[in-house]
A and B are shown apart, each in its own frame.
Chain A
Amino acid sequence: MARFANGKAPYLRMADQDNKGTGIIMRDFLIGLMPVILFAWYKNGIAVFMDGNTTFFGMLYPLFFILAGAVSSMLMEAVFFFFTDPEARTLPSLMKKLSLSYAIIPGLILALMLPMYTPIWVLMFGTFIGNIVGKMIFGGFGHNIWNPALLGYAVIKFTFMGLINASGGYFNPSEMIALYDATAGSTPLVVLSSSPFSYDSIVAPFGNLWTFFVGMTPGGMGETSVMVMLVSYLWLSFRKVIKWTTPLIYVGAVFGLSWIVGALNGDAGLWFPVYSILSGGLMYGAVFMITEPVTTPKNPLGKIYFALMLAVLTVLFRFVGSLPEGVGTSIIVMNIFALPIDKYTAIIRANRWRKPAWFKIATLAVILIAIGLYAVIKAGNVYTDIILPILPFGGVM
């Protein structure tokens, strides 16, 4: 008679297989980031070096910067573990904690979003905000409300933008020579928020739409290239790290809404919606942020609603607000609502659209449609034609 171990059903687990589990998911995610890192190095280092605009060390600097982000993000979590967890004060146990917390990822993502000439200490401040304030205080991996990297980015954006602009801003040395005068030092999205809707003022200064697709435009280090992002998207979807539908729905909805906004502003050309999804960090956000598992809804219906809502908010913030970056802000805002969305959509799904869930379906639909309409009306500048004649609303909105 032998005594056997206890356990809970099921006794077959995918996580027990060697090539499955969260560790493998995170490894695949890092592999998915590689094309972006290589592109960032090429655009800001190798290409500039080949143009003869920087030194050999200048060529290596982008890699050093990205590495700095990764290291400082690991460092922040290591310090946090060291001071809060008495069991994590030896090197092996600390490394084990860090490997189960996947500390390297927020730092990498943050570094790829920032312009190259961000001072390293600002980058470290960003990882402090992201990893400690945004992640560890909430309970560590799996418990954070905001995307840690994005929180760090937003804080940097609101506090240190002047400093970043002073030390070089979004233009790498080659772009400094080629583009700075033509655009008066503005990145595409800054131009967009201040210029009329015309191809000549929005796209022409930077080249054409192909330039945007390839990504040789001023912006964050790794977030400009749609082409590279597509490679990452295919890899991550193939490895089932991300759900392939979410980015598609998000990008599609932004495309559609931008088309309407463009048309209402007097130019129904296809170039405007195409430009909308090629510019800014939209693709970077679509592939790496809105698919981030911890801070987005967990059930498939919730993911769809989350993506639609994000698209609406992105358009709203881009065209209506005073912030140049619509994607990041909208994701930060929607991260907060991931929990209620998850709860509502889970109830709708469990009741399979039947009666008990009707109120929740209506609530979600009304919110989405109302904000969507508001965004389109405001951004489309048809405010005076449609809203103003309705007296009670005149002047309020």
Chain B
Amino acid sequence: MFQKTSGIHIDGRKAMSKKLTMEEYFNPEYVYIHLIKNIGPLKATVAAGDEVKIGQVVAVREGFGEMNVSSSVSGTVTGIKKVWHSSGRMVEAIEIKNDFQNTMDPHIKPNKNIDSLTREEYIEKMKLAGLTGLGGAGFPTYIKYITHLPIDTVIINAVECEPYLTCDFSFILEYPEKLMKGLHHFIKAANAKRGVIVYKNYNKEIKESLQKYLHKYPNISLFEVEDVYPAGWEKYIIERVTGKTYTGLPSEVGVIVNNSSTAIVFADIVEHNIPLISRPITITGEGVKKPRNFFVPIGTKVSELVEKCEGYADGLLPTKANYIAGGPMTGRAILIDDLIVNDTLGAVIVKPFVEKLHPECLGCGKCADVCPAYLTPTEIKKAVESNDLNLIKALNANSCVQCGLCSYVCPSHVEITDAVVKAKDMLRKGAK
């Protein structure tokens, strides 16, 4: 109770998608650019019939978190359609037909004056490239960097603590040098003193591939964390690396945390002006024949990627399987396998589930034991059932990070995470 945040070990099941190396797949026939980013809506700047090039701006986000969103293929805009988004809703998207010419927008060219970039120029580049965190939350990256607080450390989160996911892992193995460069630029953009790359202790390959470049960047170091869930949580990482805790944002303790894939993409943004147009994704799970990782343009249909994995496993009954967008702990079940890759979608997992009879909550308290935020989910559930907003507030339900551990450990299969999420919803509505 007085100890540091801790987690529990979860069987990673990552081996299945590590068997094959990452495949670059750049030629989908159609791409769909969602007109939503993070939680903000986008305004399309192209109309049906327009010719677009790779990297051309097709939509903008206005107001808080303003940024540009670029096309990921070259071709013709064929209209605006409603397609599935990883948030589980249908969202409007710009449909672009690929002409397979791969013509680049003129502004994509190697950057000359890389070493003399100022902090403002870095932030401008992030904004123009539409860079958001590729870890899963999709928070606009530049907002982290316009803080006025002094930043001491930039941490690269390469932990990938969710089971099944290996896209960050294989992306680093593909581009270790870009990761170091991206972090180097992040450090400069934040005026920080040092950079730390955090990875899980069993990922020896990451250590091996990055070690060759360490001598070039004396202010960058590696840091191992143990194999527990949720070791990829920002608070957990910062506590392990710096020993400090905070309540609001990491910049309070002089730290910025970025995902490893974000850093690799950022290296391209700085050196070649390539905006955020593609991302790594894992297609995996027991329901897929040959799970593997892809590097794909944003807007690709997931069903095409599943076909490249040789389709669903034999004997898979879709009605007895979940089709999960994101990691198995925090992701969301999508009803129809017609999903489009967006900037926050790190994985699609197809996984049959077990049907078992479960008794009621027996009150063992395992959920309270594992909670990394020291909450008591059973009490929050009771407060939700009795609609007691004050009690929910007193129980601090807002500090829940939705890691899903309480439902994971529950021996009675109680949907306890869901109850806490409901409590957070009630707080949000009640506050209005």
Contact = CB atoms under 8 A, between A and B. Distances in A.
Nearest to A338: B363
B396 A351 contact: yes
Nearest to B364: A293
A93 to B, nearest CB: 12
Interface in A91-120: 96, 100-102
A342 B379 contact: yes
A15 B373 CA distance: 22
B197 interface: no
B328 interface: yes
Nearest to B334: A4
Contact of A298 (B333, B368, B409): B368
B379 A102 contact: no
A146 to B, nearest CB: 13
A102 to B, nearest CB: 7
A29 to B, nearest CB: 10
Contacts of A100: 357-359
B399 A350 contact: yes
B374 interface: yes
With most chain A CB atoms within 10 A of its CB, the pick from B331, B358, B374, B391 is B374
Contacts of B363: 142, 293-296, 298
Nearest to B13: A12
B409 A14 contact: yes
Contacts of A293: 362-365
Interface residues of B, number: 66
A243 B404 CA distance: 22
Given A21-B356, A293-B362, A1 B336 contact: yes
B39 interface: no
A350 B393 CA distance: 10
A11 B324 CA distance: 8
Contacts of A352: 374
B353 A5 contact: yes
B40 to A, nearest CB: 23
B173 interface: no
A298 B406 CA distance: 13
A157 interface: no
Contacts of A9: 328-333, 402, 404, 407, 417-418
A6 B353 CA distance: 11
Nearest to A242: B364
Interface stretch (A184-192, A264-272, A299-307): A299-307
Interface SS majority for chain B: loop
B354 interface: yes
Interface in B351-380: 351, 353-354, 356-365, 367-369, 373-376, 378-379
B337 A4 contact: yes
Contacts of A355: none
A243 B396 contact: no
Contacts of A370: none
Nearest to B374: A349
A64 interface: no
Interface in B9-39: 10
Interface string A213-245: 000000000000000000000000000000100
Contacts of A3: 318-319, 335-336
B406 to A, nearest CB: 9
B304 to A, nearest CB: 13
Contacts of A12: 10, 163, 328-329, 408
Contacts of A142: 359-363, 412
B349 interface: yes
Contacts of B186: none
Interface in A8-45: 8-16, 20-25
B408 to A, nearest CB: 5
Contacts of B367: 298
A49 to B, nearest CB: 39
A7 interface: yes
A222 B134 CA distance: 60
27 contacts: A3-B319, A4-B334, A4-B350, A5-B320, A7-B353, A8-B417, A9-B329, A9-B407, A10-B328, A10-B330, A10-B408, A11-B328, A11-B329, A14-B410, A15-B356, A15-B412, A16-B354, A16-B356, A21-B358, A25-B362, A100-B357, A295-B363, A299-B368, A300-B368, A342-B378, A345-B376, A350-B399
Please name the 10 residue pairs, one residue from A and one from B, whose CB atoms are nearest each other, closest first.
Answer: A10-B404, A346-B376, A350-B396, A142-B360, A298-B365, A299-B368, A4-B323, A346-B379, A299-B376, A10-B329
Interface of B: 1, 10, 163, 303, 312, 318-324, 328-338, 349-351, 353-354, 356-365, 367-369, 373-376, 378-379, 391, 394-397, 399, 402, 404-405, 407-413, 415, 417-418
Given A2-B318, A243-B369, 20 more contacts: A1-B337, A4-B350, A5-B319, A5-B320, A9-B402, A11-B329, A20-B411, A96-B357, A141-B360, A293-B365, A294-B362, A294-B363, A299-B365, A300-B1, A300-B365, A300-B368, A347-B395, A350-B396, A351-B394, A351-B396
